[in-house]
Amino acid sequence: MLRLGRARQLELLPKWISDKIEINRYWTYRLLERAERETPGGARLLDAGSGEGQFRHHFGHTNYVGVDLAVGDAQWDYTGIDAQADLKQLPFPDGSFDAAVCIQTLEHVNEPKQVIGEIARVLRDGGRLYLSAPMMWHQHQKPHDFFRYTSFGFRYLLEQNGMRVIDMQPWGGYFWFLSFNLQLMHDRLFPRPESDLRYLLMLPFVLPVQFVFFLLLPILFYYLDRLDPVKDHTLGWSVVAEKMPPDEHHPTAAQ
């Protein structure tokens, strides 16, 4: 095919460039690399909402268990998951995992507090959860898309379920948010035609727009993001939380 999808285009770029363009992927892999580094060999690790199991290779040194309800995306191949289950009712005993990851999944569940509670239940005391979800994002995997999360929402959900927040990082600030949305400009201005021939005829118009909105401005905004120290206009959050012993669990009161 003459036309390359966005993911394939990013793969053709040097990593030092693609990391500045694809912000959510950059933060996702930073969180996964931390989980990989901090989870000891032989530990039992739960991937809650594992999708196709695309993160399994990060945890070859662990006893990895991928769980998904397998309804989110009709194009995905769920045959490689270890267990098909509702995250609200995980089929595992209490305290049976040493660590868990839940990557861009919580927005797709209709009872997030219950899901966090189940993950906390199957974690041992002191076990860590590596969690991420968007705060500003378009609807996706419709109709299985329910929520967006602030830092306060994350903290509340976790503390209500006996988890202590160890670290929380925003996916950039206002300029990274602008970068993400400007990259969608290309698809809005030039919807992809059905034929490759028509796409070729459009290339003289497409390529300059793509260069500006997909490459030049995102790199510029990557550096401009340093001007936003508050990061309230962030695309999402990466969180590391730890399960507290029962005697240390004091739920945050609802406001």
User: In the Cβ-directed half-sphere of 38, how many Cα atoms lie within 13 Å?
Assistant: 19
For residue 35, pLDDT over 60 is answered with yes
User: Taking 50 as the threshold, does the pLDDT of residue 232 lie above it?
Assistant: yes
Please tell me the predicted confidence (pLDDT) of residue 204: 81
Mean pLDDT value across residues 175-194 = 80
Instruction: Please tell me the predicted confidence (pLDDT) of residue 4.
Output: 52
Predicted local confidence at residue 123, as pLDDT: 99
Q: Identify the band that residue 60 occupies on the pLDDT scale cut at 50, 70 and 90.
A: very high
Q: Which residue has the higher pLDDT, 8 or 30?
A: 30
pLDDT at 25: 85
Instruction: Read off the pLDDT of each residue in 34-43 and give the average, rounded to a whole number.
Output: 98
**Cβ-based neighbour number of residue 14 at 10 Å:** 7
pLDDT exceeds cutoff 70 at 8: no
Q: 5 pLDDT band (50/70/90 cuts)?
A: low
3-state secondary structure the chain: CCCCCHHHHHHHCCHHHHHHHCHHHHHHHHHHHHHHHHCCCCCEEEEECCCCCCCHHHHCCCEEEEEECCCCCCCCCCCCCCEECCCCCCCCCCCCEEEEEEECCHHHCCCHHHHHHHHHHHEEEEEEEEEEEECCCCCCCCCCCCCCCCHHHHHHHHHHCCEEEEEEEECCCHHHHHHHHHHCHHHHHCCCCCCHHHHHHHHHHHHHHHHHHHHHHHHHHHHHHHHCCCCCCCCEEEEEEEECCHHHCCCCCCC
Most confident of 150-164, 208-222, 235-249: 150-164
The answer on pLDDT for 254 being more than 90 is no
The one-letter code for the residue type at 62 is T
Confidence of residue 6 (pLDDT cuts 50, 70, 90): low
Question: Could you report the per-residue pLDDT of 149-181, keeping only the tens digit for each?
Answer: 999 999 999 999 999 999 999 999 999 999 988
Give the neighbor-by-neighbor strand order of the sheet with 163-170. 83-84, 63-68, 44-48, 97-103, 123-134, 236-243, 163-170
